[in-house]
Protein backbone atom coordinates (compact mmCIF):
# COMPACT_ATOMS: atom_id res chain seq x y z
CA UNK A 1 0.00 0.00 0.00
CA UNK A 2 1.42 3.34 -1.10
CA UNK A 3 1.83 5.81 1.68
CA UNK A 4 0.36 9.23 1.01
CA UNK A 5 2.55 12.09 2.05
CA UNK A 6 0.98 15.15 3.58
CA UNK A 7 1.00 18.28 1.54
CA UNK A 8 4.00 20.43 2.26
CA UNK A 9 3.29 23.78 3.78
CA UNK A 10 5.45 26.81 3.77
CA UNK A 11 6.84 27.86 7.06
CA UNK A 12 5.17 30.78 8.76
CA UNK A 13 6.81 33.99 7.77
CA UNK A 14 8.39 32.58 4.60
CA UNK A 15 7.29 34.40 1.48
CA UNK A 16 7.91 33.21 -2.03
CA UNK A 17 8.73 35.91 -4.57
CA UNK A 18 5.79 36.32 -6.91
CA UNK A 19 6.89 36.69 -10.49
CA UNK A 20 4.99 39.39 -12.38
CA UNK A 21 2.74 38.23 -15.17
CA UNK A 22 4.24 39.48 -18.48
CA UNK A 23 0.76 39.76 -19.98
CA UNK A 24 -0.07 42.54 -17.54
CA UNK A 25 2.48 44.77 -19.30
CA UNK A 26 1.54 43.79 -22.83
CA UNK A 27 -0.48 46.56 -24.57
CA UNK A 28 -1.14 44.59 -27.77
CA UNK A 29 -4.42 42.98 -26.61
CA UNK A 30 -5.74 46.46 -25.85
CA UNK A 31 -4.55 47.75 -29.21
CA UNK A 32 -6.32 44.86 -30.94
CA UNK A 33 -9.46 45.72 -29.00
CA UNK A 34 -9.16 49.36 -30.05
CA UNK A 35 -8.75 48.28 -33.66
CA UNK A 36 -11.88 46.13 -33.37
CA UNK A 37 -13.84 49.07 -31.94
CA UNK A 38 -12.72 51.33 -34.79
CA UNK A 39 -13.61 48.70 -37.37
CA UNK A 40 -17.05 48.26 -35.81
CA UNK A 41 -17.59 52.02 -35.81
CA UNK A 42 -16.65 52.24 -39.49
CA UNK A 43 -18.95 49.33 -40.29
CA UNK A 44 -21.73 51.16 -38.46
CA UNK A 45 -21.40 54.18 -40.73
CA UNK A 46 -19.32 56.46 -38.51
CA UNK A 47 -16.58 58.48 -40.18
CA UNK A 48 -13.65 60.51 -38.76
CA UNK A 49 -14.66 63.76 -40.45
CA UNK A 50 -13.37 65.95 -37.61
CA UNK A 51 -9.91 64.39 -37.70
CA UNK A 52 -9.76 64.58 -41.50
CA UNK A 53 -10.83 68.23 -41.45
CA UNK A 54 -8.26 69.15 -38.78
CA UNK A 55 -5.45 67.27 -40.51
CA UNK A 56 -6.28 68.78 -43.89
CA UNK A 57 -6.43 72.28 -42.39
CA UNK A 58 -2.98 71.86 -40.84
CA UNK A 59 -1.53 70.87 -44.23
CA UNK A 60 -3.25 73.82 -45.95
CA UNK A 61 -1.89 76.21 -43.32
CA UNK A 62 1.60 74.75 -43.78
CA UNK A 63 1.36 75.36 -47.53
CA UNK A 64 0.09 78.92 -47.06
CA UNK A 65 2.98 79.69 -44.73
CA UNK A 66 5.28 79.15 -47.72
CA UNK A 67 3.74 82.03 -49.64
CA UNK A 68 5.13 85.56 -49.34
CA UNK A 69 1.79 87.36 -49.26
CA UNK A 70 -0.15 85.20 -46.79
CA UNK A 71 2.63 83.51 -44.83
CA UNK A 72 3.83 86.30 -42.47
CA UNK A 73 0.40 87.51 -41.32
CA UNK A 74 -0.82 83.92 -40.99
CA UNK A 75 2.17 83.08 -38.82
CA UNK A 76 1.58 86.10 -36.60
CA UNK A 77 -2.05 85.08 -36.15
CA UNK A 78 -1.17 81.72 -34.62
CA UNK A 79 2.40 81.73 -33.33
CA UNK A 80 2.11 81.46 -29.54
CA UNK A 81 4.95 82.34 -27.20
CA UNK A 82 4.86 82.75 -23.44
CA UNK A 83 6.66 86.09 -23.87
CA UNK A 84 3.60 87.59 -25.59
CA UNK A 85 1.06 89.62 -23.65
CA UNK A 86 -1.63 87.37 -22.26
CA UNK A 87 -4.35 88.93 -24.42
CA UNK A 88 -2.33 88.34 -27.61
CA UNK A 89 -1.59 84.77 -26.61
CA UNK A 90 -5.27 83.99 -25.99
CA UNK A 91 -6.28 85.47 -29.33
CA UNK A 92 -3.69 83.35 -31.16
CA UNK A 93 -4.57 80.08 -29.44
CA UNK A 94 -7.25 78.88 -31.93
CA UNK A 95 -4.96 79.35 -34.92
CA UNK A 96 -2.02 77.72 -33.16
CA UNK A 97 -3.87 74.39 -33.42
CA UNK A 98 -2.99 74.33 -37.12
CA UNK A 99 0.55 75.66 -37.07
CA UNK A 100 3.40 73.16 -37.48
CA UNK A 101 5.13 72.04 -34.30
CA UNK A 102 8.89 72.58 -33.81
CA UNK A 103 9.85 68.88 -33.40
CA UNK A 104 7.29 67.23 -35.67
CA UNK A 105 7.09 67.27 -39.49
CA UNK A 106 3.88 68.44 -41.10
CA UNK A 107 2.84 64.93 -42.07
CA UNK A 108 3.28 63.80 -38.46
CA UNK A 109 1.21 66.68 -37.12
CA UNK A 110 -1.53 65.98 -39.66
CA UNK A 111 -1.44 62.24 -38.99
CA UNK A 112 -1.85 62.62 -35.25
CA UNK A 113 -4.86 64.88 -35.76
CA UNK A 114 -6.47 62.50 -38.25
CA UNK A 115 -5.87 59.39 -36.17
CA UNK A 116 -6.39 60.58 -32.60
CA UNK A 117 -9.24 63.04 -33.15
CA UNK A 118 -10.80 60.84 -35.83
CA UNK A 119 -10.85 57.72 -33.67
CA UNK A 120 -12.15 59.69 -30.68
CA UNK A 121 -14.90 61.23 -32.80
CA UNK A 122 -16.13 57.81 -33.91
CA UNK A 123 -15.98 56.19 -30.47
CA UNK A 124 -16.94 58.91 -27.99
CA UNK A 125 -18.60 61.61 -30.10
CA UNK A 126 -17.62 64.76 -31.93
CA UNK A 127 -18.52 67.40 -29.34
CA UNK A 128 -16.87 65.59 -26.45
CA UNK A 129 -13.73 65.26 -28.59
CA UNK A 130 -13.77 68.98 -29.42
CA UNK A 131 -14.29 69.92 -25.77
CA UNK A 132 -11.42 67.77 -24.51
CA UNK A 133 -9.10 68.96 -27.29
CA UNK A 134 -9.90 72.62 -26.58
CA UNK A 135 -9.40 72.25 -22.84
CA UNK A 136 -6.12 70.39 -23.30
CA UNK A 137 -4.81 72.91 -25.82
CA UNK A 138 -5.71 76.03 -23.83
CA UNK A 139 -4.84 74.67 -20.39
CA UNK A 140 -1.44 73.31 -21.42
CA UNK A 141 -0.37 76.56 -23.10
CA UNK A 142 -1.53 78.90 -20.34
CA UNK A 143 -0.30 76.67 -17.51
CA UNK A 144 3.14 76.44 -19.12
CA UNK A 145 3.18 80.23 -19.21
CA UNK A 146 2.46 80.35 -15.47
CA UNK A 147 5.21 77.80 -14.77
CA UNK A 148 7.75 79.77 -16.81
CA UNK A 149 6.91 82.99 -14.98
CA UNK A 150 7.04 81.33 -11.56
CA UNK A 151 10.15 80.90 -9.45
CA UNK A 152 9.83 77.11 -9.77
CA UNK A 153 10.18 76.98 -13.55
CA UNK A 154 13.75 75.69 -13.34
CA UNK A 155 12.49 72.53 -11.62
CA UNK A 156 10.76 71.59 -14.88
CA UNK A 157 13.69 72.56 -17.07
CA UNK A 158 12.11 75.87 -18.07
CA UNK A 159 14.33 78.93 -18.21
CA UNK A 160 13.36 82.49 -19.12
CA UNK A 161 14.63 81.76 -22.63
CA UNK A 162 11.85 79.19 -23.15
CA UNK A 163 9.34 82.02 -23.04
CA UNK A 164 10.43 82.81 -26.59
CA UNK A 165 9.97 79.24 -27.83
CA UNK A 166 6.96 78.27 -29.94
CA UNK A 167 4.32 76.26 -28.14
CA UNK A 168 3.62 72.64 -28.98
CA UNK A 169 0.71 73.42 -31.31
CA UNK A 170 -1.77 70.63 -32.04
CA UNK A 171 0.22 68.03 -30.10
CA UNK A 172 -1.28 69.11 -26.77
CA UNK A 173 -4.83 68.71 -28.09
CA UNK A 174 -4.01 65.27 -29.50
CA UNK A 175 -2.37 64.24 -26.22
CA UNK A 176 -5.38 65.28 -24.14
CA UNK A 177 -7.83 63.51 -26.44
CA UNK A 178 -5.65 60.40 -26.60
CA UNK A 179 -5.36 60.18 -22.82
CA UNK A 180 -9.10 60.74 -22.43
CA UNK A 181 -9.95 58.08 -25.00
CA UNK A 182 -7.66 55.42 -23.55
CA UNK A 183 -8.95 55.87 -20.01
CA UNK A 184 -12.63 56.04 -20.97
CA UNK A 185 -12.33 52.82 -22.99
CA UNK A 186 -10.49 51.11 -20.14
CA UNK A 187 -7.24 50.69 -22.08
CA UNK A 188 -5.12 51.22 -19.00
CA UNK A 189 -1.94 49.56 -20.27
CA UNK A 190 -1.90 51.84 -23.30
CA UNK A 191 -2.51 54.82 -20.99
CA UNK A 192 0.50 53.80 -18.88
CA UNK A 193 2.59 53.39 -22.03
CA UNK A 194 1.58 56.86 -23.22
CA UNK A 195 2.43 58.38 -19.84
CA UNK A 196 5.84 56.70 -19.66
CA UNK A 197 6.74 57.70 -23.21
CA UNK A 198 5.87 61.34 -22.55
CA UNK A 199 7.81 61.34 -19.28
CA UNK A 200 10.88 59.90 -21.01
CA UNK A 201 10.61 62.44 -23.82
CA UNK A 202 10.24 65.30 -21.33
CA UNK A 203 13.29 64.06 -19.39
CA UNK A 204 15.63 63.68 -22.35
CA UNK A 205 14.32 66.67 -24.33
CA UNK A 206 13.61 69.32 -21.70
CA UNK A 207 11.66 72.33 -22.80
CA UNK A 208 8.21 73.77 -23.09
CA UNK A 209 6.94 70.87 -25.23
CA UNK A 210 7.45 68.29 -22.49
CA UNK A 211 5.70 70.43 -19.88
CA UNK A 212 2.75 71.15 -22.18
CA UNK A 213 2.41 67.47 -23.06
CA UNK A 214 2.30 66.45 -19.40
CA UNK A 215 -0.29 69.13 -18.62
CA UNK A 216 -2.40 68.01 -21.58
CA UNK A 217 -2.07 64.40 -20.42
CA UNK A 218 -3.34 65.37 -16.97
CA UNK A 219 -6.25 67.26 -18.55
CA UNK A 220 -7.22 64.17 -20.52
CA UNK A 221 -7.11 61.94 -17.45
CA UNK A 222 -9.15 64.38 -15.35
CA UNK A 223 -11.71 64.73 -18.13
CA UNK A 224 -11.96 60.94 -18.37
CA UNK A 225 -12.76 60.80 -14.66
CA UNK A 226 -15.42 63.53 -14.83
CA UNK A 227 -17.11 63.63 -18.23
CA UNK A 228 -18.56 60.08 -18.30
CA UNK A 229 -20.43 60.92 -15.11
CA UNK A 230 -21.73 64.22 -16.44
CA UNK A 231 -22.56 63.17 -20.00
CA UNK A 232 -24.35 59.85 -20.06
CA UNK A 233 -24.09 59.68 -23.86
CA UNK A 234 -20.41 58.85 -23.58
CA UNK A 235 -20.48 55.04 -24.01
CA UNK A 236 -18.76 52.66 -21.66
CA UNK A 237 -16.15 50.30 -23.01
CA UNK A 238 -18.50 47.30 -22.84
CA UNK A 239 -21.16 49.07 -24.89
CA UNK A 240 -18.94 49.91 -27.85
CATH, residue 53: 1.20.1540
Mean pLDDT of 118-136: 94
Q: Within 13 Å of residue 59, how many CA atoms lie on the same side as its CB?
A: 13
pLDDT tens, residue by residue, 132-184: 999 999 999 998 888 887 766 666 667 777 778 888 888 999 999 999 999 99
What average pLDDT is seen over the chain? 83
Phi-psi domain of 13 (left: phi exceeds 0; alpha: psi -120 through 50; beta: other): left
Total domains present in the chain = 1
Mean pLDDT of 76-105: 87
* Spatial CA neighbour of 192 closest among 229, 165, 217: 217
Cβ proximity of 120 and 180 under 8 Å: yes
Does the residue 139 lie in any domain? yes
From the number of C-beta atoms within 10 Å of its C-beta (0-12, 13-18, 19+), residue 145 rates as buried
Does the residue 103 lie in any domain? yes
35 or 144, which is more confident: 35
222 or 210, which is more confident: 222
From the number of C-beta atoms within 10 Å of its C-beta (0-12, 13-18, 19+), residue 15 rates as exposed
Does the residue 6 lie in any domain? no
pLDDT confidence band for 26 (50 / 70 / 90): confident
pLDDT tens, residue by residue, 1-23: 455 554 444 455 545 554 555 55
| C-alpha to C-alpha distance for 105 and 92, rounded to whole angstroms | 21
| C-alpha to C-alpha distance for 109 and 47, rounded to whole angstroms | 20
Does the residue 8 lie in any domain? no
Please give the residue range of the domain that contains residue 80: 46-239
Does the residue 41 lie in any domain? no
Amino acid sequence: MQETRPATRSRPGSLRPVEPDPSLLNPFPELRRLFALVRAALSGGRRPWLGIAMGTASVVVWLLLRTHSVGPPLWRSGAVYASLPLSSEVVRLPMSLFLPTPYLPVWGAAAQLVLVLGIAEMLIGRWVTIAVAAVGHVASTLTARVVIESIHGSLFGLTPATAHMLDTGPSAAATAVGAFLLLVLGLKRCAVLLTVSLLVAAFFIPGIDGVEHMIALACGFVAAALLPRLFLKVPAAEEL
